[in-house]
Chain A
Amino acid sequence: MKIDEVISFLRSCQTPVTIMEVCGSHTASILKNGIRQLVSPSIRLVSGPGCPVCVTTASYIDALIELALLKNHTVLSFGDMFKVKGSTLSLAEAKSRGADISLMLFPLEAIHLAQDNPQQTFIIAAVGFETSSPVYALLADQIVQKGIKNIKLLTALKTMPSILELVCQTESIDAFLCPGHVCAITGTKPFEHLACIHQKPFVVAGFEAEHILAALYEIVVQIKENRHTLTNLYRSVVREAPQPKANRLINQYFESGSAYWRGIGEVENSGLYLRREYEFLDAGSKNLRAEDFPANCRCADVIMGRISPQACPLFAKQCTPESAVGPCMVSAEGACGNAINS
């Protein structure tokens, strides 16, 4: 089937269908490629809880800032965490007031930094989903193997299946565009399980415009035919079984636990924490406060698919990319940050 035919099919679709794209990279690609304009208005695309920045709590940011203000401590963080507000300051604002925070591109770069600066303690802002967890596990492995004493992790690692279970139970979503990179680590089984229990199509796809359009096509066809299966359209990367090496590492260093999701609250079995035997690598991840959420911020409703970003009273008023109240406005992958530019 040619891409023009796929577009023409999706453009003429009359069936009302609400599809959640779970992953922030899908949200970004949908915007970048103008996919909403290519498909019928009856196909409603909503963003899910799959942008790691958007679901990170204010208390986590606060904890990073506290650590970065300690003598001889440096916090290493990915770029888009810099703009997320804690309860009072973002990492960028804290940095401008003297907190020692540096941009990290790849967590393993901490190994050399730690070896070259033995008097300094490096705190890794370990944020992400299943996609990122293997890298932090690899970092933990290197720290242990090399006997490095001056790297610790403050983790806010999340896992997808439990939060999607919650979305299925509480929200009116007809089908899911599954996170391709997460599936590369987890395999398709956890999502097949959700498709089966909740009787909804789950389609795994890559991140190019053609991948996403093909997935939307598959979803609409399934809904028209009243089918609800897991379909993997990203076979070049995603298998049915979990990626063995990555999962071996994750399971060696991390264990599952309940986690706080910004605005959503505590969700059982939706986080990863360093195992008890590696607690000496932890910078206090389990002791983070539950969260104070900014008044009127409806990021949680946005990423649960309940409202569109534009329906939030703060959208484009008090909350803009330059001065974001909620994390969804911060990241290039956030639903609101995307919506304000479309």
Chain B
Amino acid sequence: MQSTITTAHGSGGTATSRLIADVFMRYFHNEINAKMADAAILNIEGKLAFTTDSFVVKPLFFPGGDIGRLSICGTVNDLLTAGAAPRYISAGFILEEGLPLDTLHRVCRSMSETAKEANISIVTGDTKVIEGNGGMYINTSGIGTLQNAAISFDTAQQGDAIIVTGNLGDHHACILSQRLSLNNTIQSDAAPLNGILEALTSNQLNLHGIRDITRGGLATVLNEIAEATGLSPVIEEIKVPVAEDVAALCKILGLDPLYMGNEGKLVLLVPQEQAAMAVAAIKKAPYGKNAAVIGTLEAQAGVRVRTRLGGVRMLAALQGEGLPRIC
């Protein structure tokens, strides 16, 4: 019979020790966590960026990723948007009774591989077991170090170009397709974006603010940028990159890619004269090939979209939950 997680695994006793040795240390082993101390000792100097995120996605595995990859990427990308180099990350697991042990192995292997790709070390962790139906949840908290000043929207200026690093809506469309058992080829974009940030900083670009486009989608992020800068993002509908399959799914379900989440896309502001260079740099980096300038930061008048035929519409932040509509 297949081995599963039981309450004993969360008791702190021998079953917990075995779980740590057989699973967590197998995938996460490094010099820092090998000491098996209650707290990891980190040797860091200078300014730090610190962030936390929790992951509750269902299903746990989906085309293009899994909850483990997501739990590393989400926190890593948050650090990157501040201009920090990701260094250390924690992994807190809440496991439901009945979770197949094999599932935990697969998730941890994926976390280990993604952490390696994102150049971050998993240095501490925790496990709790709760009643349930074999689900799992992960919290990760990450620390990054800042070489230069933190990137912030304080430096944004009227006329700045708005750039997105790739196609919108992939992750959301992928998860929705899985939940609705739709057969299509849509893959999640879950990815750590270290390469894109390196490309931007090594080209000496003036980054006037970066956000990752997760829940709420680009529309919500642009509204947050408007609030932070006191200026108005205005985007061109036809310049917004959306994959054909995602666009088709949205059309059928009555969803708008501007309100759909990603797990590997950034929106950033750069001075207009550096826009072409920034896009060229992002395109050469991993996960950046569909980058595009989509608009401009204009004087305050609300977040707007210029439509294909020259109309204009306001773009509000996501309200409530995006649901498929009737017709």
Q: Are the C-beta atoms of B180 and A52 separated by less than 8 Å?
A: no
Contacting B at CB under 8 A, from A90-138, are 103, 105, 127-129, 131-132
Known A-B contacts A105-B253, A342-B314; the reply to A7 vs B309 at CB < 8 A is: yes
Q: Tell me which of B180, B308, B320 contacts A33 (CB under 8 A).
A: B308
Q: Are the C-beta atoms of B319 and A320 separated by less than 8 Å?
A: yes
A310 to B316 Cα, complex, angstroms: 16
Q: Is A332 an interface residue (CB 8 A)?
A: yes
B55 to chain A, nearest CB (A): 22
Q: Determine the chain B residues whose CB is within 8 A of the CB of A24 once the complex forms.
A: 327
Q: Is B312 an interface residue (CB 8 A)?
A: yes
A210 (CB) vs chain B CBs: closest residue: B309
Q: Is B149 an interface residue (CB 8 A)?
A: no
Which of B180, B253, B308, B327 counts the most chain A CB atoms within 10 A?
A: B327
Known A-B contacts A3-B309, A342-B314; the reply to A79 vs B327 at CB < 8 A is: no
Q: Is B46 an interface residue (CB 8 A)?
A: no
Q: Determine the chain B residues whose CB is within 8 A of the CB of A34 once the complex forms.
A: 305-307, 309-313
Q: Determine the chain B residues whose CB is within 8 A of the CB of A279 once the complex forms.
A: none
B318 (CB) vs chain A CBs: closest residue: A321
Known A-B contacts A209-B308, A322-B320; the reply to A31 vs B313 at CB < 8 A is: yes
A7 to B311 Cα, complex, angstroms: 10
Contacting B at CB under 8 A, from A1-58, are 3, 7, 24-25, 28, 31-38, 52-53
Binds B, one of A80-88, A197-205, A264-272: A80-88
B234 to chain A, nearest CB (A): 12
A342 to B311 Cα, complex, angstroms: 11
Known A-B contacts A37-B312, A105-B180, A332-B254; the reply to A321 vs B326 at CB < 8 A is: no
Q: Is A341 an interface residue (CB 8 A)?
A: yes
A54 to chain B, nearest CB (A): 11
Which of B305, B319, B325 counts the most chain A CB atoms within 10 A?
A: B325
Q: Are the C-beta atoms of A35 and B311 separated by less than 8 Å?
A: yes
| Total of A-B residue pairs, C-beta within 8 Å | 90
Q: Determine the chain B residues whose CB is within 8 A of the CB of A3 once the complex forms.
A: 309
Residues of B in contact (CB 8 Å), total 23
A114 to B327 Cα, complex, angstroms: 24
A331 to B307 Cα, complex, angstroms: 21
Q: Is A166 an interface residue (CB 8 A)?
A: no
Q: Determine the chain A residues whose CB is within 8 A of the CB of B325 once the complex forms.
A: 53, 78-80, 331-333
Q: Are the C-beta atoms of A80 and B311 separated by less than 8 Å?
A: no
B253 (CB) vs chain A CBs: closest residue: A105
| Proximity bits, A312-342, B CB within 8 Å = 1, else 0 | 0000000011100000000111000000111
B225 to chain A, nearest CB (A): 18
Q: Is A181 an interface residue (CB 8 A)?
A: yes
Q: Determine the chain B residues whose CB is within 8 A of the CB of A52 once the complex forms.
A: 326-327
Describe B's contact surface by its main secondary structure.
Answer: loop
A55 to chain B, nearest CB (A): 12
Q: Are the C-beta atoms of B313 and A78 separated by less than 8 Å?
A: no
A106 (CB) vs chain B CBs: closest residue: B180
A35 to chain B, nearest CB (A): 6
A78 to B180 Cα, complex, angstroms: 12
Q: Are the C-beta atoms of A131 and B327 separated by less than 8 Å?
A: yes
Q: Are the C-beta atoms of A78 and B309 separated by less than 8 Å?
A: no
A178 to chain B, nearest CB (A): 15
A53 to B326 Cα, complex, angstroms: 8
Q: Determine the chain B residues whose CB is within 8 A of the CB of A103 once the complex forms.
A: 180, 323-324
A268 to chain B, nearest CB (A): 24
Contacting B at CB under 8 A, from A142-201, are 181
Q: Determine the chain B residues whose CB is within 8 A of the CB of A131 once the complex forms.
A: 327
A58 to chain B, nearest CB (A): 18
A108 to chain B, nearest CB (A): 13
Known A-B contacts A33-B311, A209-B307; the reply to A79 vs B324 at CB < 8 A is: yes
A127 to B325 Cα, complex, angstroms: 12
Q: Determine the chain A residues whose CB is within 8 A of the CB of B256 once the complex forms.
A: 32
A331 (CB) vs chain B CBs: closest residue: B325
B259 (CB) vs chain A CBs: closest residue: A332
Contacting A at CB under 8 A, from B172-194, are 180
Known A-B contacts A52-B327, A79-B324; the reply to A33 vs B309 at CB < 8 A is: yes
Contacting A at CB under 8 A, from B279-327, are 305-316, 319-320, 323-327
A93 to chain B, nearest CB (A): 12
B311 (CB) vs chain A CBs: closest residue: A34
Q: Are the C-beta atoms of A32 and B307 separated by less than 8 Å?
A: yes
Known A-B contacts A32-B307, A341-B313; the reply to A78 vs B320 at CB < 8 A is: no
Q: Determine the chain B residues whose CB is within 8 A of the CB of A32 once the complex forms.
A: 256, 307, 313
Q: Determine the chain B residues whose CB is within 8 A of the CB of A31 once the complex forms.
A: 313
Q: Determine the chain B residues whose CB is within 8 A of the CB of A128 once the complex forms.
A: 326-327
A322 to B306 Cα, complex, angstroms: 25
A28 (CB) vs chain B CBs: closest residue: B254
B179 (CB) vs chain A CBs: closest residue: A103
Q: Are the C-beta atoms of A80 and B314 separated by less than 8 Å?
A: no
A78 to B323 Cα, complex, angstroms: 9
Q: Are the C-beta atoms of A83 and B326 separated by less than 8 Å?
A: no
A252 to B245 Cα, complex, angstroms: 37
A52 to B327 Cα, complex, angstroms: 9
Q: Are the C-beta atoms of B319 and A321 separated by less than 8 Å?
A: yes
Which of B180, B307, B309 counts the most chain A CB atoms within 10 A?
A: B309
A34 to B311 Cα, complex, angstroms: 4
Q: Are the C-beta atoms of B319 and A33 separated by less than 8 Å?
A: no
A32 to B219 Cα, complex, angstroms: 13
Q: Tell me which of B311, B316, B320, B323 contacts A341 (CB under 8 A).
A: B316
Q: Are the C-beta atoms of B323 and A37 separated by less than 8 Å?
A: no
Q: Are the C-beta atoms of B327 and A181 separated by less than 8 Å?
A: yes
B311 to chain A, nearest CB (A): 2
Nearest 6 pairs of A and B residues by beta carbon: A34-B311, A79-B323, A321-B319, A79-B324, A80-B325, A34-B307
Q: Beyond A7-B309, A83-B320, A332-B325: 4 further Cβ-contacts under 8 Å?
A: A34-B309, A38-B310, A103-B324, A209-B309
